[in-house]
Amino acid sequence: MNILLFDPFSGAAGDMVIGSLLDLGADEEAVRAAMRSVVGEPTIERVDRSGIRATRVSAHAPVHHRTLGEVLDRVAGSDAPAPAQEMARRVFFRIHRAEESIHGVGAHFHEVGADDAVADVVGACTALHSLDIDGVAVLPVALGRGFFVGAHGTFPIPAPATVAILVESGLQTIPGDEDRELCTPTGAALLAEFVTMKPDDLGPAGIQAIGYGAGSRDPPGRPNVLRSMLLSVADGIAGDRVDILETNVDDVTGEALAYTLARLMEEGARDASAIPAVMKKGRSGHLIRVVAHTDTTDHLAGVMARELGTLGIRCIPMVHRFVAERTVEPVRVVLRGREWTIDVKCGWTAGKISSFKPEYDQAAACARELGVPLREVTGAVEAAARRLFIERDVLEP
């Protein structure tokens, strides 16, 4: 698997994230097109930061503060790929939650709602999408110290919004030994959205490529860069990346639960389940859990909210999902003197079939037509499939 590892030893900002990913090999034309559609043509150049050659990205955007709705409209109107747009939306929702936790409901974005931040987020998400990696890990983020003057007044470093974003993310941090802001709210939100695994879970890995993204400052004797590394780790079962949506409910009928789960599957969920749970005050309820591809997360969260009436839905983003190779094998079987061909779904591991199961709809149709129990049909199909796969030497006897 290819894993992206960020090393923010000098902090992180939106332009540094883009520069680092471009330096690593992200699609520059796709990133330019996405940023251009938001604010105009960006400048992408190679610069020196204390002896390290790095990629510097500048959006050249005017200072124009926007509401969340205005920001999301600009993201939706960008030329970024749909998955990158969805990721950018989630980044801004992270920032919005942080802003409201500090300033109250209805807070404006101020610095992180400016057009250059919109361009940075859209560009960074497009760059990550173009790399098509299997997971992202982030080493401890340097924060900086001191004070800065922002739209709301003078605040400590790290900025309150940055801290709020990092608290929600679970990312590890280090203070850093510089009297300036090292990690911006935009940089924190991007890393929080991108991360899918802990660095300690990587194990042995080979470094395939290195990227350096330059910050705007060039302090003497210190490389103000964000380093990223593309790692090759031992490949287990193939996989993809999904989001997990969860909510707890205690006032929904069984019929409504069944209907909601069916609706979620119809609307593109990869899986949906209702797990019995004992909730606060000893009330019986259910944990609703939905596995979603990242480009369907917002839509499926909306379905959950509408059907269940829930006030909050948790999103665990960009989880790596191990997925066995799958095939469908036709199996012929004789039942009650008639020959049937029923598909069998097979899971493969290391060149061998590790699991198999008859296709339910076909087996059920056969059982109805013959007037026999479903278990008689599935049992006969499984026995025939086992014999066939052993003969092909793809199943252990």
Give percent of the chain with pLDDT exceeding 70.
93
Arithmetic mean of pLDDT, 42-58: 97
pLDDT at residue 260, as a whole number: 96
Query: Which residue has 């499984």 as its token pair?
Result: 382
Query: Pairing relation of β-strands 173-174 and 239-249?
Result: unpaired
Spatial distance between the Cα atoms of 40 and 32, rounded to a whole number of angstroms: 9
At residue 109, the pLDDT reads 56
Instruction: State the residue for tokens 């993310």.
Output: 169
Question: Residue 263's pLDDT is what?
Answer: 94
* SS percent in the chain: helix, strand, coil, step 5: 40, 35, 25
Give me the helix-helix angle, 160-169 and 82-103, nearest 10°.
120
Residue written as token pair 């003497």: 220
Q: Specify which residues 327 forms β-bridges with.
A: 346
Which is more confident, 196 or 321? 196
Question: Rounded mean pLDDT of 18-34?
Answer: 97
- C-alpha 221, offset from chain centre: 36
Instruction: State residue 107's pLDDT score.
Output: 57
Report the alpha-carbon distance of residue 367 to residue 352 in Å, rounded: 30
144 DSSP assignment: B
3-state secondary structure of 135: strand
Res 53 pLDDT > 50: yes
Check residue 152 and give its pLDDT.
62
Contact between residue 359 and residue 377 where contact means Cβ atoms under 8 Å apart: no
CB 260 within 8 A of CB 309: no
Give DSSP secondary structure letters for 263-274: HHHHTT-SEEEE
Beta strands in the chain (DSSP E): 2-7, 43-49, 52-58, 135-138, 141-142, 146-150, 153-157, 173-174, 205-214, 225-233, 239-249, 271-278, 284-293, 314-322, 325-335, 338-349, 352-358
* Strand pairing category for 205-214 and 284-293: unpaired
Single-letter amino acid, residue 27: D
The predicted pLDDT at position 18 comes to 98
pTM above 0.85, yes or no: no
Is the pLDDT confidence value at 221 over 60? yes
Residue 196 pLDDT:
87
Indicate the DSSP class of residue 4: E
Mean of pLDDT values over 150-159: 79
Given a cut of 50, is residue 15 above it in pLDDT?
A: yes
pLDDT of residue 34: 97
Q: Are 179 and 144 in contact (CB under 8 A)?
A: yes
Residues 168-183, mean pLDDT to the nearest whole number: 91
Round to whole Å and give the CA distance between 66 and 393: 63
What integer is the mean pLDDT of 99-126?
A: 78
Taking residues 10-31, report their average pLDDT: 97
Residue 219's SS3 state is coil
Q: Residue 237's pLDDT band (boundaries 50, 70, 90)?
A: very low
How many percent of the chain have pLDDT more than 90?
Answer: 67
Q: Which tens digits make up the pLDDT trace of 79-104? A: 999 999 999 999 999 998 888 888 77
CA 233 to chain centre: 19
Predicted pLDDT at 240: 64
Contact assessment for residue 40 and residue 52, using Cβ atoms and an 8 Å cutoff: no
pLDDT digits 0-9 by tens, 332-385: 999 999 999 999 999 887 778 989 999 999 999 999 999 999 999 999 999 999
Bigger pLDDT: 132 vs 334 = 334
Q: How far apart are CA 331 and CA 247, in angstroms?
A: 41
What is the average pLDDT value for the chain, to the nearest integer? 90
Cα–Cα distance measured from residue 322 to residue 120, given in angstroms and rounded to the nearest whole number: 31
Please give the Cα distance from 270 to 267 (Å, whole number).
9
With a CB cutoff of 8 Å and minimum separation 6, the contacts of 211 are: 19, 20, 21, 22, 23, 24, 25, 55, 227, 228, 229, 230
Closest CA to 19 of 61, 50, 52: 52
Angstrom distance (rounded) from CA 111 to CA 61: 12
Mean pLDDT over 39-52 rounds to 95
Q: In what order do the strands lie in the sheet with 338-349?
A: 325-335, 338-349, 352-358
- pLDDT tens sequence across 289-316: 999 988 789 899 999 999 999 888 998 8
Is pLDDT at 108 greater than 60 in this prediction?
Answer: no
Residue ranges and CATH numbers for the domains of the chain are 2-233 (no CATH), 239-322 (3.30.70.1380), 325-391 (3.10.20.300)
